[in-house]
């Protein structure tokens, strides 16, 4: 089951090996009017070492006229710890006016907590 990061402005922490769901809402500045993306936004994900893990992959539209797009991603179990970046690139159109957008978000990746089950916890 994937965990959801609500918007790219959120900063969330996930463990390496988890599947996450990145979400982007595309609205006019009033926060209510849905703006049509000419094509589903493209998602690029870079790890904390600067290595591109995903390049310009299509996001998925959630329903019709919701303005919500998502991208599910399985963080590699051996993924490096630190701040990862996800970039959304899209063209939005409203009233025959098109504009290109690039937006960034950040996630913190850490290794799962591991302990020796034979140790006594106090």
Query: Please, what are the domains in the chain?
Result: 3-110 (2.60.40.10)
The token pair that represents 57 in the structure block: 């992959």
Alpha carbons 10 and 20: distance in angstroms, whole number: 13
User: What is this structure's pTM?
Assistant: 0.73
Instruction: Identify whether the C-beta of residue 39 lies closer than 8 Å to the C-beta of residue 98.
Output: no
pLDDT in tens, 42-100: 999 999 999 999 999 999 988 776 778 899 999 998 888 888 989 988 887 666 566 67
């Amino acid at each position: 089951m994937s965990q959801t990061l609500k918007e790219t402005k959120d900063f969330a922490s996930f463990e390496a090996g988890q599947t996450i769901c990145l979400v982007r809402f595309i609205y006019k500045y009033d926060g209510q009017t849905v703006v049509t993306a000419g094509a589903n936004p493209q998602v690029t994900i870079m790890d904390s070492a600067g290595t591109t893990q995903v390049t310009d992959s299509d996001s998925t539209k959630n329903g019709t006229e919701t303005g919500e797009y998502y991208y599910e991603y399985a963080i590699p179990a051996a993924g490096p710890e630190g701040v990862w970046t996800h970039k959304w690139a899209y063209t939005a159109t409203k009233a025959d006016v098109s504009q290109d957008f690039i937006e960034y978000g950040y996630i913190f990746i850490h290794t799962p907590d591991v302990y020796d089950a034979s140790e006594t916890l106090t």
